[in-house]
Chains A and B, each alone.
Chain A
Amino acid sequence: MLKSLTRLQRYYLYYTGCFLAFIGALAILEQHGMPPRWIGYSFLFFTISMYALIGIVSRTSDVSEYYVAGRKIPAFFNGMATGADWMSAASFIGMAGTLYLSGFQGLAYVIGWTGGFVLVALLLAPYLRRFGQYTIPDFLGARYGGNAIRLVAVAAAILASFVYVVAQIYGVGVITSRFVSLQFEIGVFVGLAGILVCSFLGGMKAVTWTQVAQYLILIVAYVTPVAILSYNVTGNPIPQLVYGQVLQQVTELENRLFDTPAEIEVRQLFRERADLYAQKIMQLPHSLIHEREQLSTEINRLKASDAQMKEIVALERHRRDLPHDPDQAKTRWESAMFSAADRSKQPIHHAEAFPGETAEEQNIQRINFLALVFCLTVGTAALPHILTRYYTTPSVREARESVFWSLLFILLLYITAPAYAVFAKYEVLSHLAEIPIAKLPGWVAAWAKVGLVSIEDINGDGILQLAELSLNPDVIVLATPEIAGMPYVVSGLVAAGGLAAALSTADGLLLTITSALSHDVYYRIIRPDASTQFRLVISKSMLLVVAVLAATVAAQKPGTILSMVAWAFSIAGSAFFPALVLGIFWERATRQGALAGMIVGVLLSIYYIVRVEFDTIPWLGISGLHMEPWLHIQATSSGFFGVLAGFATIILVSLVTKPEPGAISFLKGIRFRNEASS
């Protein structure tokens, strides 16, 4: 059996065995009293040194190996590497949580992020491979000619990738600070080290082989806890098969719990609180002065009477904590109002598609669901760090096959995520709701301490109502091992998996940015006569600069960064997808058309995001920006308009400009060519 495998497959089999043995050893050590913190350190140290080992073994000084792994990656392994490249910290940690919070609506991510690979397989991968250069700007530059389009492509690639890479490094910081209790900033630089050991010496070649190793870790880490939980709840360890029944129980519990008198009362109380904040915000600055005066009179009254000192101190602290000025009051009260309003909403049934009270609301949900699916599929098929992976296979046929493997390996995680969400919901509905707050399971208190779970007994009955509980999406995956009562080693495994997911995606992104700068800008535009050795020096120094820059930005803890990642899909989709697809399938597409289409697409996407999402931009002194969304579509799906506008612009402009003279022969080359002659 072992003989029938290739040498590489055997290596990775040994590696997986080694990793499982390592987990087993740690589990035994834990039983003998190894403290959790040391288990965390062991995972961190073991996995990163594995990646470093692979990174050093795969070091290279060959340009082709540095950019496209020498085009020697077999389809199967390229699929695995793409899987790791694709699944980010957000997929690993955040997605199950999003599915928990939004039920059916969250499945847009599952469909969108997998469906995109059909577009990659049918429309892009074979042609990119047959073209056989190094980057996506290379392809656009060759198809349409000229440096302008190359520069626009470089700018869009960097715009979409940089935010994304910062989010990955941020994710590393979060994971290390939670599981190994490193300081966040130190965690960020551990992440930086983890990324550099993979990519610096060996470029794409080393990144590919570490990504394969990272995929194996992340998939084991993702599936294990939910399989054990599934076995505990249903007696069947394959969660994907049995969570349908659990979902039915969830629906029954929802029907029973959602409209009990206590739940209705709690939601009413939250609604009143939201209204109160709304009123206070309306009456600013008067309401703030009034509140401070009221507290002062109360304090004076207590001081005059013989009240307890403790009460007075508490009130004085309360007065000190009041917002200092109306602006601060406005932001603080607004967020309090939104969170109260959120809790006062009628909860949604997990399995219900496009939930809404009226037919119109349901329709809005439906449109948004489909628009999001559209953006995510098109964005998936346009993210440069994914598309470059299909340059690395030995042949066109293997490129096609590797898309199949990519999707298969990605499916394993994406089919599991909804199961996570349903099991977690079952746990919450059956073991937390209607339970006295003092008797809640231990994991609730543990995660409340780090602020990922919050409970507020607003009606003061000492019993938990669903509306009184709010969960941060990250907690679903992170807390599942504890929910299922597993030893700490499983939590350590989950942390190692999240780390692998973040590092592998960061590697791929970093390499994309680096090659856009060093290959497309420096070599193709500034100095086409640079020697290969010097090109490598430039690449490596760019890599270092970009990596340090990304880590520095991540260390500032930019809170908005996570929401910005979702925009990367719209931006990448509207910049690249129309130009690439029309470039391959339509001879008449011209340089002017593509340039105009890319610029219009990206600008429209950004314009839509800015106008729907923001009202004021303080540092530009602009206010009153906000506009009503078109067709009720949310800012996250701005690419819906960007991509359509991109297609329309390319077609219109191409038809009024002269046909591209080089297009026919270029297309002949990528549509039909005997590999042997290339």
Chain B
Amino acid sequence: MMAKADAYWRRTKRLTFTLLLCWICLTFGVTWFSREVNEMVFLGFPLGFYMAAQGSLVIFLLIIWWYNRRMRKIDAEFGVDED
């Protein structure tokens, strides 16, 4: 039981920190270079503006979606099924 709990937590932690790192790179890394990225055009928008107004938001949503999907799998593997 102990080992199982530890393994579950290790998997959860790895997933959490990987996604958190992606989030930090996007939120602070890409945004830092907005001025430079703005030179490019996407759908008629300067890309830096687009990322801050829409692109990042959609990726945030995808990060959460991916986390939920992976966690469901991990839950099933470890028998943390809830119903």
Contacts and interface: CB of A to CB of B under 8 A. Distances in A.
Given A104-B34, A369-B31, A397-B75, A247 B57 contact: no
B59 to A, nearest CB: 9
Interface residues of A, number: 53
Contacts of B54: 240, 415, 418
B5 A672 contact: yes
Interface string B41-83: 0111110111011101110110111011001100100111011
A412 to B, nearest CB: 10
B74 to A, nearest CB: 10
Interface string B28-43: 1001101100100011
Contacts of B32: 366, 370
B34 to A, nearest CB: 4
Contact of B5 (A242, A366, A585, A668): A668
A414 B56 CA distance: 12
Contacts of A403: 64
B20 interface: yes
A104 B53 CA distance: 9
B35 A354 contact: yes
A407 B16 CA distance: 18
A353 B38 contact: yes
A122 B34 contact: no
Contact of B49 (A107, A108, A408): A107
Contacts of A244: 42-45, 50
Contact of A415 (B46, B48, B53): B53
B48 A353 contact: yes
A395 B82 contact: yes
A400 interface: yes
B65 to A, nearest CB: 6
Given A104-B49, A674-B80, A407 B67 contact: no
Interface in B1-42: 4-5, 8-9, 12-13, 16, 19-20, 23, 27-28, 31-32, 34-35, 38, 42
A181 interface: no
A352 B46 CA distance: 9
A348 to B, nearest CB: 13
A353 B39 CA distance: 10
Interface stretch (A111-119, A151-159, A533-541): A111-119
A450 to B, nearest CB: 30
B33 to A, nearest CB: 9
Contact of A418 (B8, B27, B53, B83): B53
Given A104-B52, A245-B44, A674-B80, A114 B57 contact: yes
Contacts of B44: 242, 244-245, 247-248
A407 B61 contact: yes
A596 to B, nearest CB: 25
A672 B61 contact: no
Given A104-B52, A115-B23, A672 B45 contact: no
Interface in A96-145: 104, 107-108, 110-111, 114-115, 117-119, 121-123, 126
Contacts of A119: 23
A672 B80 contact: yes
B60 A114 contact: yes
Contact of B34 (A353, A585, A672): A353
A668 B50 CA distance: 43
B16 A351 contact: no
Given A115-B60, A247-B49, A121 B72 contact: no
A221 B72 CA distance: 36
Interface in A427-484: none
Contact of B64 (A104, A245, A369, A407): A407
A118 B68 CA distance: 11
Contact of A408 (B34, B38, B61, B83): B61
A396 interface: yes
A158 to B, nearest CB: 30
A620 B10 CA distance: 53
Contacts of A676: 82
A401 interface: yes
Contact of A111 (B38, B45, B56, B64): B56
A351 B38 contact: yes
Given A407-B61, A415-B54, A373 B28 contact: yes
Interface string A339-381: 0000000000001111000000010001001100110010000
A672 B6 CA distance: 8
A411 interface: yes
Contacts of A675: 80, 82
A414 B60 CA distance: 13
Contacts of B16: 122-123
Contact of A370 (B28, B61, B63): B28
Interface in A266-325: none
A423 B39 CA distance: 22
A351 B64 contact: no
Contacts of B38: 351-353
Given A353-B35, A362-B35, A674-B79, 18 more contacts: A104-B52, A114-B60, A118-B20, A121-B64, A122-B16, A244-B50, A245-B44, A351-B38, A373-B31, A377-B27, A397-B72, A404-B65, A408-B61, A415-B53, A415-B57, A672-B80, A675-B80, A676-B82
7 contacts: A104-B49, A123-B20, A353-B48, A353-B49, A395-B82, A400-B68, A672-B80
Interface of B: 4-5, 8-9, 12-13, 16, 19-20, 23, 27-28, 31-32, 34-35, 38, 42-46, 48-50, 52-54, 56-58, 60-61, 63-65, 67-68, 71-72, 75, 78-80, 82-83
